[in-house]
Amino acid sequence: MRLDKYISHATGLPREYVKRVIRHKKVTVNGAMTKSASAQVAETDAVCLDSELLTLPGPRYLMLHKPAGYICATEDGEHPIVLDLLRDTDPEGLSIAGRLDIDTTGLVLLSDDGQWLHRVTSPRHLYAKVYRAVLQEPVHEDTVAAFAVGMLLRGEDKPTAPALCVPLPDNGAEITLNEGRYHQVKRMFAACGNHVVALHRVRIGAVLLDESLAEGASRPLTHEEMESFLS
């Protein structure tokens, strides 16, 4: 990693300020003064600022209550991205575990721990994802059966894995999926002749969307929440 990025990450200081500090000979790497912001340093190198040894913060694990209108991507030229919503967190290095459509709301998990992200999203680990949907028409028993058996979606050659669809009042439904295909909930209801009007994710694995989080707000995962994906 570049020296200026390392120091910015370790201290929270803006990169431009860090570059000035480096130019002013205040930084040493393994005891040697350096004026090069672009010098490469490893996590094992001893980086000191004003003679004080810096340490990189540990990995971060967050949940975010995604509002509609935001894209689950780390950059997009057209729409705001979910990383724009983070208030007290430097978005640098964070990635999203399991994307939601721009109009879908609810639980999004973020981290800079690549292995953990891989576990959360890997089909090998089968962490259930639970959604609440509002449909155009009431949910039929045939739809519940089709979700349970699995269905062939247009353009695909493998049927969906068995999924749970529980009808709720006012054209609602709670859907539990054990896989994550492109627009899966919307396409499954469309294949059953219905249309998703609103979609909200409430749970991934054992982690529930914190009801105290307003739309757009985020918080660090508790240790138990983070560890629930490691067992």
Site for ligand URA in 192-231 (CB under 6 A): 199
Q: For residue 153, state whether it binds ligand URA (rule: CB under 6 A).
A: no
Q: For residue 183, state whether it binds ligand URA (rule: CB under 6 A).
A: yes
Q: Is 101 a catalytic residue?
A: yes
Give the per-residue SS3 of 130-193.
EEEEEECCCCCHHHHHHHHHCCCCCCCCCCCCCCEEEEECCCEEEEEECCCCCCHHHHHHHHCC
Binding flags for ligand URA, 66-105, as an x/- string (CB under 6 A): ----------------------------------xx--x-
For ligand URA, the closer of residues 79 and 183 by Cβ is 183
One-letter amino acid identity for 176?
A: T
CB of 19 to ligand URA, least distance (A): 40
The answer to whether residues 81 and 71 touch, using CB atoms and an 8 Å cutoff, is yes
Which one among 5, 19, 186, 219 touches ligand URA, defined by CB under 6 A?
A: 186
Q: For residue 3, state whether it binds ligand URA (rule: CB under 6 A).
A: no
Q: For residue 184, state whether it binds ligand URA (rule: CB under 6 A).
A: yes
Other Cβ atoms within 10 Å of 100 Cβ, number: 22
Residue of 84, 101, 103, 113 marked catalytic: 101
125-151: b (≥16 Cβ within 10 Å) or e: eebebbbbbebeeebeeebbebbeeeb
Catalytic machinery residues: 101
| Binding site residues, ligand URA, CB under 6 A | 100-101, 104, 183-186, 199
